[in-house]
Structure 1
Amino acid sequence: MNNYELMVIFTPVLSDDDFKASQKKYTDYIKSIGGEIVHENPWGLKSLAYPIQKKTTGLYWVMEYKAPSNLNEQLKIQLLRDDNVLRHMFTVLDKYAVEYNNKKRSGVPTGTEKVEG
């Protein structure tokens, strides 16, 4: 199984319950195909760099997961069919990215922080 990160931008008109339901739908889908959710991080409402479908903001959600390589193509089809999804992006994580994410979540210094003084 490979490590992946998925960032999804949902339409900003979703209620909190709908936003959570959409997140759950995709986590359940990944689990049903044999994937494993490592970490989820809903960023919430953020400004977009450019308008998408006449919207200037979006609800961001980032998820790190482990899955077989064929899962991404099936998940991509589901994301493209969903009217609530403005954009999505898959990233393959190498062992260094996985290690960096683990350190960042646990609060261990990663070496990229600014030093005050």
Structure 2
Amino acid sequence: MGVPVKMRPYEIVYVLDSALEREAVDEKLDSFHSVLGGEITVVDHWGVRQLAYPIRKSKTAYYVIVQVTTDPDALPEFERLLRLDEETMRYLIVLNEGQPTSGASVLADRPVLRAAEEPEDDAPAAEAEAEGEGGDGAGEDEDQEEGEAGEDGKADDADAPPQSSGPPEFSGARGRRRRHEGPPIVLLNYKDVTTLARFLTEQGKILPKRTTKVTARFQRQLGTAVKRARFLALLPYIRDHEG
């Protein structure tokens, strides 16, 4: 009795030469998929798009996104064929996690909490109260000393600048902390360039989660998505300030 074949869903992004016509692209995909086997579920032709940076001295490329269910053992021979093809500028094979081929992220229905609706952290107040309930004798002596020192330092405190509370403000393009507003992102799509750009600085670097106020898990997903988008020339590695 043979071992059953375990089929897995994949998403393949082809970055082809922009000089190819639609008929030539279809013929090339048929030859690729004949080696890959499996079941082709979606074929989405994005067509010719502007590259974020030149590849092989070309500024445009023909993008095709394919979702397929196939045997993982067929991938090595399939990738060898792609590497030998001169008109395939780049390709990316990832597991299909349910992201649409259109390049949009999957959003939730419920809205995110605003700053006024977020629960406040009562831990510092509780610690201060616990410290105040310490020894009575020591507390009275400390209060007396603080009272005497406070009378002498009132004039100095009046001239001191006010101290800001909370996290430091983000000094970026907008001069304030960036915070993702709107429906929560359930599945971040690496092809969603508009959403990814909101988490990048003017230099093209990924904003830290202390600035964007996202979870550590989402920050890891963001890093993976940005790396994939940069590899496919959907996002630049660095921003060009010459223009």
TM-score by length of structure 1 reads 0.76
Bigger Cα Rg:
2
Contact 1:41 1:61 in 2 (8 A): yes
> Which SS does the other structure have where 2:24 is aligned?
helix
Asked if residue 72 in structure 1 is aligned to residue 47 in structure 2, the reply is no
Out of 27, 33, 38, the residue aligned to residue 27 of structure 1 is 33
**Structure 1 match to 2:107:** 111
1:1-117 matches, within 5 Å, as 1-31=7-37, 35-93=38-96, 97-98=97-98, 100-101=99-100, 110-111=106-107
> Which SS does the other structure have where 2:11 is aligned?
strand
Q: Which has the higher strand share?
A: 1
The number of residue pairs the alignment matches comes to: 102
Q: Distance in 1 between matches of 2:11 and 2:77?
A: 15
Contact 2:35 2:77 in 1 (8 A): no
Unaligned runs of 5+ in 2: 1-6, 110-181, 184-243
Q: Which moved more, 1:6-15 or 1:22-31?
A: 22-31
Deviations 1:26-76 (A, max 9, x none): 233323xxx111111111000111111110000000100111111111111
Q: Distance in 2 between matches of 1:101 and 1:50?
A: 24
Distance 1:101-1:14 versus aligned 2 partners, 3 A rule:
closer
TM-score by length of structure 2 reads 0.38
| 1:112 positional shift | 5.6
TM-align CA RMSD: 2.3
| 1:25 positional shift | 1.7
Give the residue type in structure 1 aligned to 2:77: Q
Higher relative contact order (Cα pairs below 8 Å, separated by 6+ residues): 1
**Structure 2 match to 1:107:** none
> Which SS does the other structure have where 1:13 is aligned?
coil
* Percent identity between the two aligned chains: 20
